[in-house]
Amino acid sequence: MNNCRYCERECKNPNSLRNHERLCKLNPNRQVSYFESSEFPKGGYGENQYTKARALGLPDPIVSEETRDKLRRRNLLRTEEWHKENGRKISKTIQKKVAEGTWHTSLAKKMHINYNGVDLHGKWELEYARYLDEHHIEWTRPKDRFSYVLEGKPRWYTPDFYLVATKEFVEIKGYETEKDRAKWSQFPATLIVLKEQDLKDLGIDIN
């Protein structure tokens, strides 16, 4: 069994268990993660269910295991072949739009939506943020840039969301490109990519 000796949480494997115990809040000698340190930028994330509860002196909202499992299962179902097939479908769609002269680059990054003080880009990000708050999942807007290399040149990437409890980054994505695959494959932490159907499967209204 891979259960934490401090909180008894079950982990997937020994490596996951070691990482969890190192940062477990019940570990008296735990290592403080970068996101909890004084070096991590605190401002600009706005309010969610966690920050509101803490401001009122209330205990943190409880995230149901059902919700956590739903998010985990969705990510685990994505095999390498799934990614390849999905990439082929997207590439075919883009080529068709380019040939028809109807292709355009995403406008999401140019769309700024203020959600409780947080600058979000596009309706999909807004609805996902609302989904997290409704399910009492603590999140922040990442500020760190992560390096990756594309065509021999160093580049930088910042995902859309960071889930505090599970220490997972989330990217909300429409069309997938070669650039996206490069930065995702070189990302140094756990990254979940949610596309249109993934959001719909979570019950999120993105229309």
Cα 63-67-73 angle, rounded to 5 deg: 140
Q: Does residue 90 or residue 205 have the better pLDDT?
A: 205
One-letter amino acid at 42 equals K
Give dist(CA 40, CA 160) in Å, integer: 17
Give dist(CA 119, CA 46) in Å, integer: 9
Q: Is the dihedral of CA 75, 174, 206, 122 positive or negative?
A: positive
- Residues 108-131: what's their mean pLDDT? 83
* DSSP-assigned letters across all residues of 14-80: HHHHHHHHHH-TT-TTPPPPGGGSTTS--TT----HHHHHHHTTPPPPPPPHHHHHHHHHHHHT--H
Strand spans (E) along 122-167 = 139-140, 146-150, 153-157, 161-163
pLDDT at residue 133 above 90? yes
pLDDT number for residue 106: 52
pLDDT number for residue 6: 86
Angstrom distances, CA of residue 24 to CA of 9, 27, 165: 10, 5, 10
Query: pLDDT digit string (tens) for 76-119?
Result: 676 667 667 766 776 677 667 656 655 544 545 556 788 888 88
- Residues 10-25: what's their mean pLDDT? 77
β-pair type (168-172, 191-194) = parallel
pLDDT at residue 150 above 50? yes
On the 0-12 / 13-18 / 19+ scale of CB atoms within 10 A, 156 is exposed
pLDDT number for residue 194: 93
Query: Average pLDDT of the chain?
Result: 78
One-letter amino acid at 59 equals P
> Is 197 in a helix, a strand, or coil?
helix
One-letter amino acid at 151 equals E
Residue 42's pLDDT band (cuts 50, 70, 90):
very low
pLDDT number for residue 18: 78
